[in-house]
Amino acid sequence: MRVPIIGVGAVASVGRDADEIFAGLCAGRGALGPMRGFDSGLYNGKQLFEIDDRPEGTDRTLRATGFLLDAVAQAAADAGLGDDLSGVPVLVGTGLRELRSAELWWRDGAPFGVDRLHFGTALRERFGTADTLTVSNACSASLYTLALGADLLALGEADTVIVAGVDSITESMHGLADRVQPNPPTALRTLDVNRRGTILGDGAAAVVLRGEHVKWPGGRLWGRLRGVGMTCDAKHPTAPDPAQVAEAMRQAHRLAGTRPEDIDMVMLHGTGTPLNDLVEITAYGEVFQEAAGRPVLTGIKPMTGHTSGSAGLMSLVTTLQTMATGKVPPLVNLDEPIEEAAGLRLVRAREEKHEVALAQVHGFGFGGVNAVAIVEGS
Amino acid sequence: MMMTVTGVGVALPGADSAAALATASRPGDAVEPAAVLGKKGLRYKDRATQLGLCAAQRVLTDAGLLADGVLTVDGTRTAVLVSSNLGNVDTVCRVVRTIADEGTHGVSPMDTPNASSNIIASEIAIRWGLKGPNLMLCNGPASGLDAIRWGAALLRSGRADHVVVVGVEPDNEIARGLVGGPLVDGAAAVVLEHAQAAEARGATVRAVIGAHTRGLDVAGTIGELAEVESEPAAWYAPAAAAPALSQGLPVHDLAAVWGELSGALGVVQCAAAIGALDAGADGPMWLVAGTDSDDGVATLVLRPPVPAVQPAAV
C-alpha cells in the first residue's frame, strides 16, 4: 500500500495550524498552563494543555467541534479541495466526542442536544458531506480512522477521504485521573524515570488521503501511508498489554511490506504514565531486536499534552513535517531515561537534524486498542 | 465476495431471540444481565456494557463461535464493532456533577474505565478474548447501520474473518434528557462472515448482506440503492422516512415498539429482519436509519440466504 497524503491540518495548544505547531515543537516550546475552563479549586492538578480560545474561568459548548472543523478546513485547503466536501467521506477519531458539552448541559443547563454529541451534524453543515463517521476509540482513535480511511480507498468506495482526530478535555476524565493523583505531575515526562503521569490537552488534526490509482491533478504530496496495524489487547480496560502492542507493530510492517530495520524514526505514543511508556518501549525492543538502536525516537506529548483521540494523527502530521524538513522535535523534560530505553537514540532537549524516509507512528488507548502506522516521505 | 450474517443475538426487554423480536408488539420485562451472564464480573460495569455483553454472548453462541463458553475460532481474527450514542453519557454527567458538589474525592476510581466511550467494545473483547480490530461507533441516528457497513468493510479488507456487531442503548434519566424520551434499554447483535468462511465451518447463513448507501436524505439514498438492488419486500425504517418509501409494502418502525433506539437502531433492524426471514418472510429487506432532519441517512439491504446449490446427479 502506498496511499498518497495530499493535505494536512492541525490545531493544538502549541499552535493554531500545522506549521505553527511544528515550529513550536522544534523550538521545544510546550504549552502547559494554568487550567482555564475548569475551577482550579477543585483539583490537585491545576495545569492542562488547553487551546486558549475562551476567557479564563469560563467554558462553553462545542469547542471540540470547532477544533475539528478548523483542522479539516486546513487539510482540505492544503489539498486544494475547498470548502465543498460533498462526496468526500470524513472519518473522525475521538476519545471524548462532545462529552464536554454534555457535562456543561447536565451541570449548568447549557443548551445542547444529542445531535451534536457526534460530529456528523457540524461536518454536514460546514462542508456538505453526509458520509461521516465518529469513532470513539480512546487514545488511538485517529489512527484507527486512518486505517479505515485507507481501507475505504483500497476497496474503491471513494477516491478521496479525509481522516481526522479531535478532543477537548472533559472534566470527568481529568477529574477521575486527579482523584488518584494526590501529587499530580507538573510536567509530562515521556520515558523519564521520574515521570508521574499524563496531562491532557486539547487538539485536532486531519489529513487528506487520495486513492493510489486515482489520477491526481497535482499539488503537494506530503508522503505515502504504507500500512496501519490495529489490534486489541482483550485483557484489561485500562492497563496496556505488551504482547498486543508488539503485534500491532508487526501487523503494520506486514501490511506495509517493510521491516523494523527500514525505519528511520519512531514517533512514540509516550503518554508519560509509568505503565504506558514501559509497555511501549518493551514492545518496541521486542519487535525491533538488534535494529532497536537504529531509528531516532521522539514524541510530542511533553509539549502538546495528551490530546487523546487526536494524538495519533497529530503525531502523523508532525512526522510528515519532519520528513519534509529533516527537523526532529525533541522529547523535552526527558532528563533521565528509564533503563529499558538505554542504548536507544532518543531525541532530547533540542531539535535534531535527521533524514527520515520511513517512520513508524504509535497510538494506544484505554480498552487495549492499539494502532501503529507506517508512513514514507515523498 | 459475498458477505453474510451467521448469527443473531437479542437482549431487549421481553425479547431474547430474533424470533421474539420479529413478533414483539411491545416491550416486556427489563433485561437482567446477571441472569444471562452470571453475577461474576458485572459489578462496576455500566448498564450499556452489561446489555452489550448479553447480546454479544447470545450472538456468539447463536453463530457457533462460542461452545461451552469457549471461542471456537481464532480470537485474533475476530473483530468487534459496537454502536451506541448514549452508552457512557450517564457516567460522564454524573461524575462532573459529583466533582462540582464534592470535589474529586467524591468520585469513584471505578468509574474511570466507563469515562471512555469505548468501554462496551473493549469489555466484549476482554470477556471472550476477541483481539481483532475493536471499534466503538458513536455516529448518531444512522450509527447502527454504519456499524454493519464498516463491519463488512473489515471483512473485505482482510482485517478479520469474523465480525461481531452490537447495537446498544441504555435508558436512564440523563440519556432521556438528551434524546427527549425513554430509550430501549436493550441491545441486539449480529455476526458477519464471508460466505466461504461460513461454509468452511458449517455455519448457517441467516441473510446475505446486499448494497449499502449513505447520503443526505431518504429519497436520494434509497434511489441510489434501487440502481443496484431488486425491489424490496419490506421496509425497516423510521416513521419520518415513510413518505419517501415505496407504498403498499410493510414498513416496520421499530422505535414505535421499543422507544428511542438511537445508535442501536440499525442493528436491531437487522436482527428483526432476520427474525422475519427465518419465519419465512419474503425478501429482500431494505433497512433505513436516519431521516432528512438528521446528519445523514444510511441504508442497507438484507437478502434471504441463497439455497445451497445441489450437486448435479451423476
Give B205→chain A minimum CA distance, Å: 24
- Residues A103, A185, single domain; the answer is yes
Choose, out of A136, A145, A171, A174, the residue to mutate when testing the contact with B (most B CBs < 10 Å). A136
Task: Classify residue A328: in a domain, yes or no.
Answer: yes
Query: Cis omega (within 30 of 0) on the bond before A55?
Result: no
Interval A364-376 mean pLDDT: 96
Res A172 pLDDT > 90 = yes
Task: Classify residue A217: in a domain, yes or no.
Answer: no
Closest residue to A234, CB basis, from B99, B126, B159: B126
- Residues A202, A228, single domain; the answer is no
Task: Classify residue A148: in a domain, yes or no.
Answer: yes
- Residues A46, A181, single domain; the answer is yes
Choose, out of B131, B146, B148, B291, the residue to mutate when testing the contact with A (most A CBs < 10 Å). B131
CATH superfamily of B3-200: Thiolase/Chalcone synthase (3.40.47.10)
Res A82 pLDDT > 90 = no
- Given this model, what pLDDT does residue B246 score? 87
Interval A124-132 mean pLDDT: 97
- Please give the residue of chain B at the shortest CA–CA distance from A233: B131
- Given this model, what pLDDT does residue A323 score? 98
pLDDT tens digits along B50-96: 999 999 999 999 999 999 989 999 999 999 999 999 999 999 999 99
- Residues A81, A188, single domain; the answer is yes
Task: Classify residue A215: in a domain, yes or no.
Answer: no
pLDDT tens digits along A319-344: 999 999 999 999 999 999 999 999 99
Q: Is A152 on the interface with B (CB under 8 A)?
A: yes
Given a cut of 50, the residues of chain B with pLDDT beneath it are 314
Residue limits of CATH 3.40.47.10 in chain B:
3-200, 208-303
Q: Is B214 on the interface with A (CB under 8 A)?
A: yes
Chain A residues in contact with B138 (beta carbon < 8 A): 97, 117-118, 134-136
Q: Is B119 on the interface with A (CB under 8 A)?
A: yes
> Which DSSP string do the residues of chain B spell out, in sequence order?
--EEEEEEEEEBTTB-SHHHHHH-SS--SPP-HHHHH-STT-TT--HHHHHHHHHHHHHHHHTTSEETTEE-S-GGGEEEEEE-SSTTHHHHHHHHHHHHHH-GGGS-GGGTGGGSTTHHHHHHHHHHT--S-EEEE--GGGHHHHHHHHHHHHHHTTS-SEEEEEEEE---HHHHHHHTS-B--EEEEEEEEEHHHHHHTTPPP-EEEEEEEEESSHHHHHHHHHTTSPPPSEEE--GGGGGGSPTTS-EE-HHHHHSB-GGGHHHHHHHHHHHHHHTT--S-EEEEE--TTSS-EEEEEEEPPPPPPPPPP-
- State which residues form the domain around A352: 223-377
3-state SS assignment for residue A61:
coil
Q: Where residue A141 falls among pLDDT bands split at 50, 70, 90?
A: very high
Q: Is B15 on the interface with A (CB under 8 A)?
A: no
CATH number given to B208-303:
3.40.47.10
Task: Classify residue A127: in a domain, yes or no.
Answer: yes
- Residues A166, A244, single domain; the answer is no
Res A10 pLDDT > 60 = yes
Q: Choose the final residue of a domain: A210, A234, A264.
A: A210
- Given this model, what pLDDT does residue B311 score? 55
- Given this model, what pLDDT does residue B132 score? 97
Largest separation between any pair of C-alpha atoms in chain A? 57
Q: Where residue A79 falls among pLDDT bands split at 50, 70, 90?
A: very high
Interval A351-371 mean pLDDT: 96
Residues 3-42 of A with CB under 8 A from B: 39, 42
Interval A77-98 mean pLDDT: 96
- Residues A139, A281, single domain; the answer is no
Res A2 pLDDT > 90 = yes
**What is the count of structural domains for chain A?**
2
From A57-61, A303-307, B12-16, B258-262, the region with the lowest mean pLDDT: A57-61
- Given this model, what pLDDT does residue B309 score? 56
Chain A residues in contact with B85 (beta carbon < 8 A): 114, 117-118
pLDDT > 70 in chain A, percent: 100
Residues 281-340 of A with CB under 8 A from B: none
Res A315 pLDDT > 70 = yes
Name A157's Cβ contacts closer than 8 Å, sequence gap at least 6. A89, B153
Which domain CATH number covers A273? 3.40.47.10
- Residues A197, A281, single domain; the answer is no
- Given this model, what pLDDT does residue B313 score? 52
For chain A, give the mean pLDDT: 96
Interchain CB distance below 8 Å, A99 and B178: no
Judging by DSSP bridges, how do beta strands A265-267 and A296-298 pair with one another?
Answer: parallel
pLDDT tens digits along A144-169: 999 999 999 999 999 999 999 999 99
pLDDT tens digits along A202-248: 999 999 999 998 887 777 899 999 999 999 999 998 889 999 999 99
